[in-house]
Amino acid sequence: MQYQLWISEMGVSPATGQRWRNKGMVQILRIGKTVFIDQENISKFWDRARAGEFAEELHGVCAKDSKGGSV
C-alpha cells in the first residue's frame, strides 16, 4: 500500500507521517520514488501502539491540568 494512502486513511497529516518515519515508528519500503508500507509493518505498528510503546508524558498546559493544577 502506498504510505501516503495509509496515512490519509489513518486521518493524520503528511507531516505526522514523516515524523513517525523519522522516529522509527514505522518502517517503509521505497520502490523508485514511491514510498510503500507493507501489511507486516502496519501490523507491527499497531502492536507497538497497543502495547503503549509510543505513549509520551504530557507537557505544557495539558500536564498542569491533568495534575490538578489550575489552568
pLDDT by residue (tens digit) across 9-67?
999 999 999 999 999 999 999 999 999 999 999 999 999 999 998 888 877 776 766 55
Total number of domains constituting the chain:
1
What pLDDT score was predicted for residue 55?
A: 84
DSSP state of 2: B
Task: List the domain range (segments joined by +) for residue 13.
Answer: 1-71
| Residues 6+ positions from 13 with CB-CB distance below 8 Å | 7
Per-position b or e across 21-49, b if 16+ CB within 10 A of its CB:
beeeebeeeeeeeebebeeebeeebeeee
Q: Rounded to 5 degrees, what are φ and ψ at 30?
A: -115, 125
Of 3, 24, 25, nearest in space to 14 by CA: 3
DSSP state of 36: E
